[in-house]
Structure 1
């Protein structure tokens, strides 16, 4: 499932089915039926697999690809400089370039990192269901972004509570005030990272807060998660989409990103 938006606008979701991209926003309020055919293909190599890992990869790709290494989840453990990157060229293209450290409001405040801020909005913020976000640091590579995030997350969460994110529209937060507060707490640690990795390794940025809206007509009150592998299919009224989740009637939700590479049949009214 892919989501895109410009600042202040409604996220537009599209679901890849075969060679087509289905525009999901017009289906809000409609009945949908989804059937899992039992076929899973790796999103990288296309191989048929019995089990999916890391949101769509076969086991071989999970163990081989740099994008599936643990340093993707924990960037402070990046080992490119040690000469042990699984795919050095991929690392050069994706890790050895500028990254942003950001604050976001996903129901609670969190810190995170992203490579791209296209048209003012990062796809990472959309994936996490953030209603507000602001870049606070620009750093020279993924390793430094992880080191800076590790310092800041001693004072603020770095994980999204998906249940909190789905339950309601969060109260607006003063991200600029939080940014200044955090900078006061971690100034010495950020200076130390800069002294170790270069004077331009860590740069404070003054950027505006981005507001993001989601196509949701009704939020669930008591969340019931759908497991497509166990249930095989589901149907119901689509009340909204936020982050990686579809919200259906009767308080049911499903993480559609989890089923990347799964062959699905979808019908609507």
Structure 2
């Protein structure tokens, strides 16, 4: 079976698993390739051989033009320098500068930045804190390979969520160690207990941030504590984790082939190395499932 098109990050979906009434809800993660912004209607099968061939072409995911190099996960240089989706505040939301009148694209801000955001705890390679738009749950967690996740706060903007993430970052990491992620499942954590400890420890700082953002007459916001939320658990399709992490690079080796042993986050785990599919957003690929 062969497919060709411009690569985007893999599509994820959840299939609920039967569990006891008192057990933590868990779900099996399912994946599909996305080429030319459409899902490939061919399921992954662990144990099958997969070949990925890069044609040498890269297309900007924003304007569609051909580009010699990909910036910010699939953009040409012009879009990288002009699009709000490529601004530094996407990586560091606490630096959002819309309120200063310098946003690159006002419609983007209203569509993305001024939507309800969640502050969450997750367990992927270890405990981490993160943020995502409300509508991006659980996609954000699955893209990060989290085995557990717990929303702890909801706010009205990306900037406020970023401020809270920075605050919690004094105690909890905000990054995932991708090498540890691909070496096995993280030890289960009691995220509800961690939430209660953090909320108690940071109560004065949370109140100070709430006061600061609620006092702004134009962009007034509040912080909702999600005390009733419960931990969600995710199971990834993995038969075997690599004993040693070797990362494939299509820029250096345009064709790779191996036996699929698992999928976690946006990584394919092959018997001869791993590859981060999201890294090659905008690359035109030929995918062969053998």
Which whole-Å CA distance do the structure 2 matches of 1:152 and 1:70 have between them? Answer: 20
Over residues 40-88 of structure 1, what are the superposed CA-to-partner deviations in whole Å (9 max), with x where a residue is unaligned? Answer: 0011111000000111111111111111100011111001111110001
Q: List structure 1 segments (4+ residues) > 4 angstroms apart after TM superposition.
A: none
Partner of 1:63: 81
Partner of 2:6: none
Partner of 1:237: 259
Q: After the TM superposition, which residues 59-138 of structure 1 pair with which residues of structure 2 at under 5 Å, given as runs?
A: 59-117=77-135, 121-138=137-154
Aligned residue for 2:235, secondary structure, equals coil
Partner of 2:21: none
Partner of 1:190: 206
Aligned residue for 1:167, secondary structure, equals coil
Which whole-Å CA distance do the structure 2 matches of 1:19 and 1:158 have between them? Answer: 29
Aligned residue for 1:194, secondary structure, equals helix
Partner of 1:218: 240
Moved more, 202-211 or 109-118: 109-118
CA RMSD of aligned residues (A): 1.5
Over residues 220-239 of structure 1, what are the superposed CA-to-partner deviations in whole Å (9 max), with x where a residue is unaligned? Answer: 11100001110111001011
Partner of 2:277: 256
Report the TM-score when normalising by structure 2: 0.88
Residue 23 of structure 1: how far off its partner (Å): 4.8
Over residues 75-125 of structure 1, what are the superposed CA-to-partner deviations in whole Å (9 max), with x where a residue is unaligned? Answer: 11001111110001110111112110000001200000010256xx42110
Give the number of equivalent residue pairs: 266
Partners of 2:125 and 2:181 within 8 A in 1: yes
Residue 266 of structure 1: how far off its partner (Å): 1.3
Structure 2 segments unaligned to the other structure (5+ residues): 1-9, 16-24, 216-220
Partners of 2:31 and 2:44 within 8 A in 1: no
Residue 18 of structure 1: how far off its partner (Å): 3.7
Partners of 2:117 and 2:157 within 8 A in 1: yes
Residue 22 of structure 1: how far off its partner (Å): 2.1
Structure 1 segments unaligned to the other structure (5+ residues): none
Over residues 146-174 of structure 1, what are the superposed CA-to-partner deviations in whole Å (9 max), with x where a residue is unaligned? Answer: 11111000001000100111100122110
Q: After the TM superposition, which residues 176-187 of structure 1 pair with which residues of structure 2 at under 5 Å, given as runs?
A: 176-187=192-203
Report the TM-score when normalising by structure 1: 0.95
